[in-house]
Structure 1
Amino acid sequence: MKLLIGGYTKKKATGIYELPLKKADGLEMQIGPAKEVIKVGGPTYFVQDDKFIFTINNAGDKGGISSFELVNGQYTQKDSYLTPGSSPAYIGINRNKKLLYTANYHTAVLAVFSYDQDGSLTFLDSVTHTADTLGPCPEQADGPHPHFFDETPQGNLVSCDLGNDCVDFYSFNNNKLKHLAKYQNEPGFGTRHIVFSPDGGYFYVVGELSSKINLVAIDETNWHFKNIATYSTIPDDFSDHNGSAAIKISRDGKFIYTSNRGHDTITVFAVNADHTLQLRQRISTFGEFPRDFNWDEGEKYVVATNQNTDNATLYTRDAENGCLTPIQKDIFVPEGTRVLFSE
């Protein structure tokens, strides 16, 4: 097993790094030294399909996505789709349909691409968010900021817009995007990322600007929404700046995890039988500004990256109570914002 970690390339980093993950001397898993395997600008988010990596690419005055193929132990660039201006903030994937979904925070564009067996990219369609419901925070004053674009449990598409404080739903048929519905978060929520319950009847959306998780019941057939509850990801007495970032739900639907940039923690919630949340743990990431974290296929090991302090932390996860236990700290990896476990 190995890790792939990428992020900004503004200081020390130059691309995507690979770190080995293996048991050492009969002990728990340990992460080895990072080595660069893909040289690319600003791979702040990327996804994998077998031998292919599809990554955000900040190429100077252009931005977009690029594909890389693993051949004889080396990654080779296969294709790129770049346009003038900023690169996207998020890339999602459907491996069966060979589709990629990107959200561009700066240009407000959501786009869909296809890829073939050679890693070649084809642009299919896009929509641009407008400033319909901009929030009151300074980060929202300059327009819409979609930060997430991926699939729903029923195979529709969903975006999270930090500027507009909303969750938008789309269909994608005959290579065309069509807007279906909108759920509006409270003003200043800063809608960022979303996860769905295993039964598809509820979603948990995290607000970057509010440091909150909003639990919502959803009828994805009739597009009815019910706002159930909202939970803080940080302590009530924490007054410094915080920006919540990634959110994950365990495969069994019993636990929710979110990262806090500023409080520098991962918050763990247990999911009750009625889908409401109960705070279980807040644990340090042992660094500053943890944007992303992820787990292995078995959800036993969790890795969080700290963007500002160039380090990562390895935890074990207890499947019964959801809690994390750190087993390795101060793993050097520069400017990390995206974590992906890879076999």
Structure 2
Amino acid sequence: METTATNEVLFYTGTYASADQPGIFLCALNKDTGEMRIVNHMEGVDNPSYLALCPDGNCLYVVSETDQGEVLVYRRDAATSELHLMDRKLTKGASPCYISVTEDGKWVLTSNYSSGSVNVFPVGDQGTLGEMSALVEHTGRGQNDDRQEGPHAHSIQPDPSGQYAVVCDLGLDQIIVYRNEEGRLVTHREMNQPPGSGPRHLVFHPNSKWAYVINELSNTVTAFMYDQRRGEFTTLQHISTLPEGHNGEGTSADIRVSPCGRFLYASNRGDDSIVLYHIDQESGELEAIEWTSTIGQTPRNFNLLPGGILLVANQDSNNLVAFQIDGEDGRLTHNGFKLELSRPVCIVPVV
């Protein structure tokens, strides 16, 4: 088995691939040079699109984004990061597109885009999954006949307290807060976004007081004040993800906050860019600073790697592109390297 050097950062990449093709890749980025390489890969899963590591890093959870959705559990070899299949469970929903793990590692949460439903699975021995403890199916529709003909749960994210699970439903223009009561999801609050927004992904600020949602259809970010004791969001701001004067079609995709809490990034498909916002440290509101080309097409996902690296998965140009983050102002500079990879859609650092 090929080993990795101490100056390399490891990360997994999920892709759209058939079960007989390599679908999950372990990759490495050299912290000194920025060069990337594929360490190993594995087959056996249809569309292993979204991935999540458990808190101790020993298990990788993978959704199979198909009509018969599944969650697969892989045990990760600590020495080689090689994956070994341990378990798989049906989500009883179509096209699971997001998976997350609570901070205590006790619960795995999934969202099924096409069927508009969300799941909870208890985590048992060795990271395997018990029988599904919650399946909630949303109902309703939004104003966009093409994209909001029904519910489309696009993400489910535990809040910092672990008491709540927050769902962005693109089809309903809603952010739904559930209480996680020992694996049961109990509706706590429902918050409407502006009609036609299409909320997609949510991130919490490191201070847990603020949260940010990227709205796919309106190409906006919404900034919120978050009261984690009450599980309540208060809207602070809506701001465009696109540069002024942009006239082309496109949809926004992913969103991340820097560990220092001063910068927020969001990706635009169509414009094929990453927008940098500065976060006001008093109010939590955003100021757009610059747009950087992703040097590829359709930046569906990106993530922040140790060492101040922002790594973009360009789905339709089949490449990963790395950028160095300036520690002072958060601006991005391409480090000169790309990694060719077929239809990459999710990046998860091994930390």
User: TM-score w.r.t. structure 2 length?
Assistant: 0.89
Would you say the 8 A contact 1:286–1:330 is kept in 2?
no
Q: CA deviation at 1:3?
A: 2.0
Match of residue 31 from structure 1: 36
In structure 1, the partner of 2:263 is 255
Amino acid at match of 1:286: I
Unmatched runs of 5 consecutive residues or more in structure 2: 1-8
Cα deviation, residue 35, structure 1: 3.8
The CA distance in 2 between the partners of 1:266 and 1:34, in whole Å, is: 27
* Cα separation, 2, equivalents of 1:281 and 1:289: 18
1:52-131 alignment, distance < 5 Å: 52-58=59-65, 62-71=68-77, 73=80, 74-82=82-90, 86-122=94-130, 123-131=132-140
8 A contact 1:34–1:333 mirrored in 2: no
Q: Structure 1: which 5+ residue stretches go unaligned?
A: none
Q: 1:308 to 1:223 in 2, by over 3 A?
A: same
SS at match of 1:188: coil
Q: CA deviation at 1:142?
A: 2.1
Query: Aligned residue for 1:179?
Result: 187
Q: Which residue of 1 aligns with 2:241?
A: 233
Report the residue type matching 1:41 in the other structure: D
Shift of 1:85: 5.7
Q: Within 5 Å, give how 1:1-343 maps onto structure 2.
A: 1-9=9-17, 14-23=22-31, 27-33=32-38, 35-49=40-54, 50-58=57-65, 62-71=68-77, 73=80, 74-82=82-90, 86-122=94-130, 123-131=132-140, 134-155=141-162, 156-222=164-230, 225-272=233-280, 273-298=282-307, 300-343=308-351
**SS of equivalent residue, structure 2 residue 113:** coil
C-alpha displacement of 1:76: 1.8
Contact persistence 1:286–1:329 (CA under 8 A) = no
Distance of 1:322 and 1:249 partners within structure 2: 11
Q: Is the 8 A contact 1:160 1:167 kept in 2?
A: yes
Say which is worse superposed, 148-157 or 99-108, in terms of deviation: 148-157
CA displacement 1:205-243 (0-9 Å, x = unmatched): 110001001112233444554322211101232222211
1:279-305 Cα shifts (integer Å, max 9, x gaps): 12210111100111111245x111101
For the residues of structure 2 that align with 1:211 and 1:10, how far apart are their CA atoms? 31
**Percentage identity across paired residues of the two chains:** 28
Q: CA 1:164–1:61 in 2, change beyond 3 Å: closer, same or farther?
A: closer
Distance (Å, rounded) in 1 between the aligned partners of 2:149 and 2:72: 28
1:183 counterpart letter in structure 2:
M
Is the contact between residue 13 and residue 335 of structure 1 (CA under 8 Å) also seen in structure 2? no
Whether the 8 Å CA contact 1:13–1:334 is kept in 2: the answer is no
Question: 1:252–1:124: structure 2 CA closer, same or farther, 3 Å change rule?
Answer: same
Relative distance call for 1:328 and 1:203 in structure 2 (3 A) is same
Structure 2: distance between partners of 1:93 and 1:222: 21
CA drift of 1:117 comes to: 3.1
Deviation at 1:252, TM superposition (A): 2.4
- Aligned residue in 1 for 2:5: none
2:337 and 2:47 map into 1 onto residues whose CA distance is: 24
RMSD between aligned alpha carbons? 2.2
Q: CA deviation at 1:97?
A: 3.4
- When normalised by structure 1's length, the TM-score is 0.91
Task: Please say if residues 34 and 337 of structure 2, whose CA atoms lie closer than 8 Å, have aligned partners that are also in contact.
Answer: no
SS of aligned partner of 1:118 = helix
Asked if the contact 1:17/1:38 (under 8 Å) is kept, the reply is: no
CA contact (8 A) 1:33 1:332 kept: no
For the residue of structure 2 that corresponds to 1:253, the secondary structure is: coil
Range with bigger deviation, 264-273 or 12-21: 12-21
